[in-house]
Amino acid sequence: MSDQDNDISPDGESGVITKTKPKTKKPSMYKVLLLNDDYTPMEFVVHILERFFSMGNDQATQIMLHVHRRGVGVCGVFPYDIAETKVNQVMEFARQHQHPLHCTMEKD
Ligand code: TYC
């Protein structure tokens, strides 16, 4: 059998061309959800959306009203660590102001 047939060249190196696959994966994304309650002031919720989700006043007001009417709404979609940080920031800020606002995350 020749070197050409078994893909082994005279120097002992394999002549087979292998494709090296990049080992990178797209991160799983998570929705950050805001939940309605009867006590948290609307202005406070708008402030949260502006402060932690970089929304303008109009978009923040729209999302707040959506949550107020429908019970739940998406504030944004982020990689796990960023979503977790946002949830913690919102929950801590609400706690500091003694509002029962609740925020959570779920896989997109
Ligand atoms: N329902 C609240 C009120 O009437 C407003 C509100 C909106 C609270 C969104 C929480 O995630 C929320 N004051």
Longest dimension (CA), the chain: 83
> Would you say the CB of residue 63 lies under 6 angstroms from ligand 1?
no
> Is the pLDDT higher at 102 or at 13?
102
Which residue from 67, 70, 74, 91 has its CB within 8 A of the most atoms of ligand 1, so it is best to mutate?
67
CA of 108 relative to ligand 1 center, distance in Å: 24
| pLDDT, tens digit (0-9, with 9 covering 90-100), for 49-97 | 999 999 999 999 999 999 999 999 999 999 999 999 999 999 999 999 9
DSSP-assigned beta bridge partners for residue 102: 35
What is the model's pTM?
Answer: 0.80
Give start and end residues of each alpha helix (H) in the chain.
3-6, 42-53, 57-70, 80-96
